[in-house]
Amino acid sequence: MKQILVATDFSNCASNAMEYAVELAKILKLEVCAIHAISPTEGMDNNVYRAIFIEDYYKNKREALATWAATFINKDGYRDVAISTLCEVGSVSGVITGYLDEHAVELLVMGSTGSTGISGLFGSNVSTMLWKTRIPALVIPVETRFSTNPVITLATDFSTELSAEDIVALNELILAFNSDKLTVLNVLETPEWKTNEAGELKLKELIKNTTLEFKYISEDSAKEGIMNFIQGNNTDILCLVKQHHNFVYRLFNRSTVTQVMNKSVKAVLVLHT
């Protein structure tokens, strides 16, 4: 069965992301796997004595992950969702990409901050994974709560084409939530005002299970335009397309991803070309 993969460091933000993922899995009828990466030097502290007992340390971490996951498995509302765990030694990106290579994962879910609660600390791992993976990734801020009827906004410049997998994922999400509308946002960075009828028609052909409402706004910065729109309009999930040569690229370097997550955006779904 296909899965939602949840990266965890046992932080409050990761717990919130896990709860969001399990709620989503109930609707999409998917399994959930919680994955934790142990740094190769973690638990050793350059101490030979500690190195002797490192396997015990790894065992304790795996047990800690199982205990953490059990808090969700044992909830009455989640008993119908199959939840598994995997705890491996390696970098976060290495452990996650290795799992993705061998399993049918439909969605990667990550919290936006780490165990210290300092915004941006876990963001480096988030940023890395967004560039290394080719599956849809959902980034959840700690303040976000799952909505059974979310307002979804897709930001696009109409110059990129979504992958077939992401088109399927977006349509499945819309169907699962029974969304009656998808807002499509285009930020114009030039004084010349124009709509994109060809781009609108193409999206309508790809996304057929809901009504598309196209919004055009003028802003000097695409990033600021997107965030200003989200702040002024009710949005639960913001969809962005990862493509190195379009305006959304600027959102995914390590200096700006935290700015997006700290705004009023409830969740960010990253799609691929």
CATH number at residue 170: 3.40.50.620
Q: Are residues 48 and 131 in the same domain?
A: yes
Residue 194 token pair: 């124009």
Q: Are residues 65 and 181 in the same domain?
A: no
Q: What is the DSSP string of 99-143?
A: HHHHS-EEEEEEESB-TT--BTTTHHHHHHHHHH--S-EEEE-TT
Which pLDDT score is estimated for 52?
A: 62
Verify that 120 and 176 share a domain, yes or no: no
Final residue before a domain boundary, out of 112, 140, 168: 140
Lowest mean pLDDT among 42-56, 84-98, 112-126, 162-176: 112-126
Please identify, among 140, 171, 200, the residue that sits at the C-terminal boundary of a domain: 140
Pairing assessment for the beta strands 3-7 and 31-38 based on DSSP bridges = parallel
| Residue 271 near residue 170 (C-beta atoms within 8 A) | yes
pLDDT value of position 259: 55
- 96 within a domain of the structure (yes/no): yes
Does residue 117 have a pLDDT over 60? no
One domain for residues 29 and 94: yes
| Count of the separate structural domains present in the chain | 2
Is 267 part of a structural domain of the chain? yes
Mean pLDDT of 169-197: 86
Report the alpha-carbon distance of residue 57 to residue 78 in Å, rounded.
30
Res 114: pLDDT: 53
Q: Does residue 238 lie within any of the structural domains?
A: yes
**Over 80: is that where the pLDDT of 132 sits?**
no
Establish if 130 belongs to a structural domain.
yes
- Which domain, by its residues, includes 170? 152-272
What residues pair up with 187 in beta bridges, in sequence order?
A: 217
Q: Is the pLDDT of residue 61 over 50?
A: yes
- Do 169 and 225 fall into the same domain? yes
Residues 205 and 80 in one domain: no
> Does 78 have pLDDT greater than 90?
yes
- What is the band of 192 on the pLDDT scale with cuts at 50, 70, 90? confident
> Are 10 and 133 contained in the same domain?
yes
User: Based on the domain organization, do 136 and 248 belong to the same domain?
Assistant: no
Instruction: Single out the residue of 209, 213, 93, 106 nearest to residue 166, CA to CA.
Output: 106
Q: What is the mean pLDDT of residues 181-206?
A: 86
In a domain? residue 227: yes
Name the domain boundary from 140, 164, 195.
140
Name the pLDDT band for 243 (thresholds 50, 70, 90).
low
pLDDT-derived band at 256 (thresholds 50, 70, 90) equals very low
